[in-house]
Amino acid sequence: MDKYRLAAKLLWDCAESGRFLDELAEDIRPATRAEGYAVQAHWPHVSGERVIGWKIAATSQAGREHIGVSGPLAGRILNSRVHADGSDIPSLGNGMRVAEPEFGFAMARDLAPRESAYTMEEVLDAVDCVFPSIELPSSRFADFVRAGEGQLLADNACAGRFVFGTPRRVNWRQLDLGNHEVRGTVERAGATALERLGTGAAVLGDPRSALAWLVTEVNRLGLTLRAGQVVSTGTCMVPLPIEPGDVVRADFGVLGRVALSFVDRAGT
């Protein structure tokens, strides 16, 4: 087992058990983005999970400065980490304790690596629909802010659990997604504890731009963004702090709504 696979196995075991690391041992610690992605590539193999799509972390300048990275980070979405709208989401192993409303895209066609980058028009032409999403990001590092870019990529770009709402068959191509408002709400003990507004502009200026970035990044890794896969494009507002027992709702207007309950227990 090479060092990248060993690192991925350790991180996955931590994700399953709820244990945290200070850092990876020096002999298996990735020092660069490329090495971080090399570790991440082993996550499906060590977990036995299927990659059903991709997420993007650090799509805002404030987010990148907070965790000390040079640019956005791509991570794999694994099948057991996706839950239906309204689900109970276990808190085990989630030290970040935030919810992130995100624009999701479902792909209708493959976008395989090629010599020239895909244009925005080509990327959007490959999209089937847009749907509301909430990510509860998580890190296997006790102090993820200081983990560094290589380790965060190895940690699957802080991918946690996802709740996807049902897409509405609206003409999303006619919407200004950059200025599209999203309302995030945290309910605690039956009352509204926090409410925030966000827009698609928080996501690399427009969630469509984030999707195009993801396509380029995945292709650069020699991989295909496949038909049927999804992309959750990063939080469109300052992340919502949550506690076990909270209910989180995200209202994307004509694009739909999505909700979850954050529960104080382990999960599958």
Nearest one of 156, 161, 144, 157 to 66, comparing CA atoms:
144
Long-range Cβ contact pairs of 123-127 (< 8 A, separation 24 or more)? 123/208, 123/211, 123/212, 123/215, 124/173, 124/208, 124/211, 126/225, 126/227, 127/211
CATH code, residues 3-263: 3.90.850.10
Q: CA–CA separation, 268 vs 83, rounded Å?
A: 11
Q: Are 177 and 207 in contact (CB under 8 A)?
A: yes
Nearest one of 29, 139, 163, 171 to 75, comparing CA atoms:
139
Radius of gyration of the chain (CA): 17
Q: Percentage of the chain with pLDDT > 90?
A: 94
- Give the residue extent of every domain in the chain: 3-263
| Predicted TM-score of the model (pTM) | 0.95
Query: pLDDT at position 60, please?
Result: 85
Question: Tens of pLDDT along 135-171?
Answer: 999 999 999 999 999 999 999 999 999 999 999 989 9
Query: pLDDT at position 66, please?
Result: 87
